Amino acid sequence: MSALVLGAGGFLGLNLVDALIAAGEAPRCGRRRRSNVLALRQRRAALVPADLDIPEELAAAMTGCATVFHAAGHYPRLSRDRQRTMQTGLAQLGNVLDAAAGAGVRRLIYVSSTATVAPAPGRPSDERDVFAAAPGLGVYHDLKWAMESLALAEDRIEVIVACPGACLGPHDLRLGTSAVLVALARGLDPPHPDGVINPVDVRDVATALLRLAEHASPPRRVLLAAGNLRLHELLVALARRYGVAPPSRPLEDAEAVSLADAEEARAEAGGRRPSLSREIVDLVIHGVPLDAGLAARALGMRWRPLTETLDAADGWARRMRLIPERPFTQAAEP
- Applying CB under 8 A, does 321 fall inside the site for another protein? yes
Q: Which stretch binds another protein (CB under 8 A): 129-137, 159-167, 169-177, 325-333?
A: 169-177
- Applying CB under 8 A, does 272 fall inside the site for another protein? yes
SS (H, E, C) 284-325: HHCCCCECCHHHHHHHCCCCCCHHHHHHHHHHHHHHCCCCCC
8 A C-beta contact, residue 15 and residue 202: yes
Mark 209-229 as b/e (b = at least 16 C-beta within 10 Å). Answer: bbbbbeeeebbebbbbbbbbb
Among 147, 284, 150, 166, residue whose Cα is nearest residue 223: 166
CA 135 to chain centre: 19
Name the minimum Å distance from CB 183 to another protein: 15
Name the minimum Å distance from CB 4 to another protein: 20
- Applying CB under 8 A, does 173 fall inside the site for another protein? yes
Question: Which lies closer to another protein via its Cβ, residue 280 or residue 290?
Answer: 280
Restricting to residues 34-63, which ones interact with another protein according to CB under 8 A?
34-39, 41-42
Residues in contact with another protein, counted by CB under 8 A, come to a total of 17
Name the minimum Å distance from CB 308 to another protein: 22
Question: Which lies closer to another protein via its Cβ, residue 17 or residue 322?
Answer: 322
Q: Which stretch binds another protein (CB under 8 A): 20-28, 60-68, 170-178, 212-220?
A: 170-178
Q: How far apart are CA 244 and CA 141, in angstroms?
A: 33
- Applying CB under 8 A, does 277 fall inside the site for another protein? no
Question: Which lies closer to another protein via its Cβ, residue 4 or residue 322?
Answer: 322
Neighbours of 24 (CB within 10 A): 7
Name the minimum Å distance from CB 37 to another protein: 5
Q: How far apart are CA 221 and CA 330, in angstroms?
A: 37
Q: Which stretch binds another protein (CB under 8 A): 94-102, 207-215, 287-295, 320-328?
A: 320-328
Question: Which lies closer to another protein via its Cβ, residue 52 or residue 68?
Answer: 52
Name the minimum Å distance from CB 57 to another protein: 17
Torsion, Cα 104 109 113 119, to 10 degrees, reads 100
- Applying CB under 8 A, does 249 fall inside the site for another protein? no
How distant, in Å, are the alpha carbons of 101, 105, 175 from that of 108?
A: 10, 7, 27
Restricting to residues 196-215, which ones interact with another protein according to CB under 8 A?
none
Name the minimum Å distance from CB 174 to another protein: 6
Residue 74, burial from CB neighbour count under 10 angstroms (0-12, 13-18, 19+): middle
Residues that bind another protein (CB under 8 A): 34-39, 41-42, 173-175, 272-273, 319-322
